Amino acid sequence: MDERACPSNFGQPIPEWDLRHRLPIDKPVSSERRDTATIFRINSTYMDVTDQPFKDRQWLAGGVFIAAFFSALFAVTLIRIVLIPVPTISIGVVAVYCALIGSLIRVTYMAFKYGRDEFFSLTRRPVRFNRKEKKIYAIRRRRFFSKPGQGDITWEIPWDENAIFCIHRGVAHHRRFYDIRYYEVDHDGNVTRTVAIGKKWEDEESLGDLLAQWNYWCWYMNHGPAELPKPLLFFKEKENSLESFLFCMYGFGMRASANYRISMMPFILLMTGFRLMALRTCRDPIWPEAVAKISIIDPGDSFDQPGGDTPVGWAETALALERNEYPDGDKREMKNWTGEKKTCS
Distance of CA 151 to the CA centre of its chain: 20
Q: pLDDT, tens digit, for every residue of 191-238?
A: 999 999 999 998 777 899 999 999 999 999 999 999 999 999 999 999
Given a cut of 90, whether residue 242 has pLDDT beyond it is: yes
Residue 111 bridge partners (DSSP) = none
For residue 3, the 8-state DSSP code is G
Between 159 and 255, where is the model more confident?
A: 159
If one counts every other C-beta atom within 10 angstroms of the C-beta of residue 259, the result is 8
Q: pLDDT, tens digit, for every residue of 57-71?
A: 999 999 999 999 999
* Helix (H) or strand (E) run with residue 218 in it: helix 207-223
CA distances from 35 to 44, 113, 142, 307, 314 (A): 17, 32, 28, 18, 15
pLDDT at residue number 345: 47
Q: pLDDT, tens digit, for every residue of 107-117?
A: 999 888 888 88
- Provide the 3-class DSSP secondary structure of residue 42: strand
CA distance 329 to 230: 8
pLDDT at residue number 45: 96
Between 81 and 104, where is the model more confident?
A: 104
pLDDT grade for 9, boundaries at 50, 70 and 90:
confident
What are the boundaries of each domain within the chain?
A: 3-53+125-238+284-296+303-333, 63-115
Between 257 and 273, where is the model more confident?
A: 273
Given a cut of 90, whether residue 291 has pLDDT beyond it is: yes
Percentage of the chain beyond pLDDT 70 is 94
CA atoms within 13 A on the CB side of 303: 17
Given a cut of 90, whether residue 343 has pLDDT beyond it is: no
Residues 322-326: contacts with CB under 8 Å, at least 24 apart: 326/230
CA distances from 148 to 105, 170, 185, 313 (A): 37, 40, 31, 32
When computed from its CA atoms, the radius of gyration of the chain, rounded to whole angstroms, is 23
CA atoms within 13 A on the CB side of 286: 16
pTM value?
Answer: 0.88
pLDDT at residue number 131: 95
CA distance 42 to 300: 14
Bond into 306 cis (ω within 30): yes
Angle between helices 313-322 and 241-251 in degrees, nearest 10: 70
Percentage of the chain beyond pLDDT 90 is 64
pLDDT grade for 1, boundaries at 50, 70 and 90:
very low
Q: pLDDT, tens digit, for every residue of 147-185?
A: 888 999 999 999 999 999 999 988 776 778 899 999 999
Four-residue CA torsion sign, 42, 46, 48, 51: positive
For residue 30, the 8-state DSSP code is S
Which of 76-80, 144-148, 169-173 bottoms out in mean pLDDT, i.e. has the lowest? 169-173
